[in-house]
Amino acid sequence: MRRWNGWGDEATVVELPAQGEAFLAELIGPGQTLADARLEQVLARVPASRLPAHPLICLDAEERVRHARGQSLADWLAMRSGEFGVFPDGVAYPESAAQIRTLLAWAVQHDVILIPYGGGTSVAGHINPQAGSKPVLTLSLKRMSRLIEIDEDSLIASFGPGASGPQVESQLRAHGYTLGHFPQSWELSTLGGWVASRSSGQQSLRYGRIEQLFAGGTLETFAGTLEIPTFPASAAGPDLREMVLGSEGRFGVISEVKVRISRLAAQEDFYAVFMPSWQQALAAIRTLTQARVPLSMLRLSNASETQTQLALAGHPRQIAWLEKYLALRGARAGKCMLTFGVTGCRAQNAVSLKQAKRLLKGFGGVFSGTLLGNKWAENRFRFPYLRHGLWSAGYAVDTLETATDWSNVDNLLNQVEACLRDGLREEGERVHVFSHLSHVYGEGSSIYTTYLFRPGNSYGEALTRWQRLKHAASRTIAEHRGTISHQHGVGRDHAPYLALEKGELGIAALQALSAHFDPDQRLAPGVLLQDAP
Ligand SMILES: Cc1cc2nc3c(=O)[nH]c(=O)nc-3n(C[C@H](O)[C@H](O)[C@H](O)COP(=O)(O)OP(=O)(O)OC[C@H]3O[C@@H](n4cnc5c(N)ncnc54)[C@H](O)[C@@H]3O)c2cc1C
């Protein structure tokens, strides 16, 4: 059963090892635990629904609680404290495009706000209902999760938008194919959500981001149905797929997604290499990417993340041996762990591996084989569960991300880390910060930063600390040539910073599109584009 107040399945528990707890206590002080609310307490606070009855709509209080919040740290604090704020008035579960159209017409008739909902894994406040005079209906696409058809000549598969990562892969693998899209939220996030928020999977180096995988589909809007046919390429004016990608539920409801699929690879392995310093590591992965060595993923942790990962891994004796071995080979304090993957046919993988090894050795890289790399791959969807372990030990954790050109990667990363590290100094609190680069391009890279802090003595204090850190980091990103999001999208949390990136004219054009498809502004108002003052 999915947790109502946290990440993933209730049966999966990932605890913080004792060694990790001691490491954090030394860095930022002993943990501070806060009491969690119980589901019964929250259910007692759910107000009566303002929606009239409809056969496709569920008004049950628990369903409304389970669709009220996403997975940002602010959402986490709301769920844990039981102070949800606003609940949707109901949740609809359409099973077809025709039922989506029925619900859109019904929303107009009853003056209702609609929030399209995929897996609810948003970390930017996309799916949270807002207080207002109009009732809010959350439209969950989870019953539209079927593989509709595969065009095996063209390698195009059509899906319902509500297919989650495991549903997409299991239906494709049964025919020998993969989508190859693995965001860390893969277990719960959906195809429609990936397209609507421009998601990036961990193996984007091989398979591409969702922009490259999304071939076409259907958008149900208040102005009619927009069908986007698939073409391998087209010079027929602006590409309409771009109006759907990143639309974040503002322009319509995606009712079908056509994606480019690949045949399953014969072999896949992940390797870990330790680079002696950050500057050498940075130069190495830039060279590797620009040389177009065909790897399927690359993840470079900075020294702080490398040290944290080794401390939180548990197994202190094995880690001590590894550290000794690395030190003998020249990777000491300041070393950076680089994980990379090779995916494809055996012969091609052997060549890619040889190329990567030779190049990385030239930058002082020390290979540790497949053990750590394959462990990373095996556990990659378990990491989000660690938030529970950290919370129980008295620590709050959040992540943020951006992307910038290579000429600015080091500078931006340092600026973001510095503003977070100093963000709570005035109140005498330390923040532990670390980063990695995991989506690399010829032009530049994404930067993914994690920060941990103590929540303080109350939920109110924890929220204030988070707001201060989040705002400082977002402002730093916007002011230092970073995009406000490389993969998590805009939602409500990043909307105030969007105009800095798109400009006044750009925002006006997006607002005109929104008004065209949704003249009464019923779809997720305030998400992506801020409400008019
Ligand atoms: C632990 C964790 C790890 C994450 N890792 C990654 C990662 O590696 N890469 C990454 O890109 N993101 C990541 N995310 C962020 C999040 O998973 C992505 O933004 C994802 O694409 C959201 O998909 P979803 O189905 O959960 O959408 P939701 O959260 O339900 O919705 C997101 C937005 O899409 C809209 N939407 C959803 N479905 C439709 C539809 N059918 N039609 C129209 N609009 C729709 C919603 O209205 C909303 O605006 C992570 C989040 C968490 C909590």
Contact 121 CB / ligand 1 (< 6 Å): yes
* Cβ neighbours for 472, distance < 8 A, ≥ 6 positions apart: 419, 420, 423
pLDDT at 532: 66
Apex 162 CA angle, 160 and 164, nearest 5: 115
How far from chain centre, in Å, is Cα 451?
16
pLDDT at 324: 93
pLDDT tens readout for residues 107-158: 999 999 999 999 999 999 999 999 999 999 999 999 999 999 999 999 999 9
Query: How many CB atoms neighbour CB 40 within 10 A?
Result: 8
Contact 446 CB / ligand 1 (< 6 Å): no
Contact 445 CB / ligand 1 (< 6 Å): no
Q: Which atom of ligand 1 sits closest to the CA of residue 190?
A: 25
CB contact at 8 A, 504 and 498: no
pLDDT tens readout for residues 71-88: 999 999 999 999 999 999
At residue 316 the predicted structure's pLDDT band, cuts being 50, 70 and 90, is confident
CA-based nearest residue to 484, from 275, 198, 222: 198
> What is the mean predicted confidence (pLDDT) over 484-512?
97
CB contact at 8 A, 222 and 519: yes
pLDDT tens readout for residues 141-200: 999 999 999 999 999 999 999 999 999 999 999 999 999 999 999 999 999 999 999 999
Backbone φ and ψ for 470, nearest 5 degrees, come out as -65, -45
Q: How many CA atoms lie within 13 A of 508 on its CB side?
A: 3
| Domains of the chain (ranges, CATH numbers) | 36-140 (3.30.43.10), 147-263 (3.30.465.10), 267-380 (3.30.70.3450)
pLDDT at 315: 85
- The preferred substitution site among 7, 158, 199 for testing ligand 1, maximizing ligand atoms within 8 Å of CB, is 199
Contact 489 CB / ligand 1 (< 6 Å): yes
pLDDT at 217: 98
Contact 527 CB / ligand 1 (< 6 Å): yes
Backbone φ and ψ for 109, nearest 5 degrees, come out as -60, -40
320-329, 431-440, 507-516 — which is least confidently predicted?
320-329
Contact 404 CB / ligand 1 (< 6 Å): no
pLDDT score of 533 more than 70 = no
Per-position b or e across 377-414, b if 16+ CB within 10 A of its CB:
beebbeebbbbbbbbebbbbbbbbbbbbebebbeebbe
Q: What is the β-pairing status of strands 113-117 and 136-140?
A: parallel
Contact 189 CB / ligand 1 (< 6 Å): yes
- The preferred substitution site among 117, 376, 387, 523 for testing ligand 1, maximizing ligand atoms within 8 Å of CB, is 117
Q: How far is the CA of 119 from the centre of ligand 1 (A)?
A: 7
Dihedral over alpha carbons 26, 331, 401, 424 (to 10 degrees): 30
Backbone φ and ψ for 220, nearest 5 degrees, come out as -90, 120
Question: Which one-letter amino acid corresponds to residue 139?
Answer: L
pLDDT at 313: 85
